[in-house]
Amino acid sequence: MSGQHDHSYQYVALRCVPRVDREEFVNVGVVLYCQAIDYLAVSWHCDRDRLHALDPSLDVDRVCAALEFVEGVCAGDERGGAIAGKPLSQRFGFLKAPRSTVVQPGPVHGGVTADPAAELGRLRTRLVD
């Protein structure tokens, strides 16, 4: 049942795509943005065994470093470089834009929640873990 304090949000799953030509990926994180309450956060996990099953030569530390960069963008700290100083809407726009890196965003989805942090945890459990 929807409450009066529910807020709309958008999210993207972050995918590890070690070989774009094979079009295979493993979800490694979720970024959730709720404009109404200025919330932008990521929750991620790199399962080394799953990632190496997809590509035994994958540098998992590089994947983790890319996800730490995303953490910095969300948090607005130095790990996120120049984009981390931008408004949240611009940071989310940057994170949801496709790039040709090993960590790529999936399609944007949305929903409504009273607790974006709890929703982020639920999405991570459903999509990543």
Q: Are 70 and 32 in contact (CB under 8 A)?
A: no
Statement: residue 28 has pLDDT above 50: yes
Q: Find residue 40's DSSP bridge partners.
A: 33
pLDDT surpassing 90 at residue 95? yes
Percent of the chain with pLDDT over 70: 97
What is this structure's pTM?
Answer: 0.93
Lookup: tokens for 75:
């948090």
pLDDT at 23: 86
Q: Is the pLDDT of residue 1 over 50?
A: no
| Cα–Cα distance, 48 to 34 (Å, whole number) | 30
Question: CA 99 to CA 69: how far, in whole Å?
Answer: 14
Asked if residue 52 has pLDDT above 60, the reply is yes
Report the percent of the chain where pLDDT is more than 90. 88
Q: Would you say 95 and 70 are in contact if contact means Cβ atoms under 8 Å apart? A: yes
Confidence grade of residue 100 (pLDDT, cut at 50, 70, 90): confident
pLDDT tens digits, residue range 34-43? Answer: 999 999 999 9
Instruction: Give the model's confidence band at 4: pLDDT under 50 very low, under 70 low, under 90 confident, else very high.
Output: low
The pair phi, psi for residue 76, each rounded to 5°, is 75, 30
Residue 45: is its pLDDT beyond 70? yes
Give the mean model confidence (pLDDT) for residues 118-123. Answer: 98
Distances (CA, A) of 67 to 2, 15, 78: 32, 10, 14
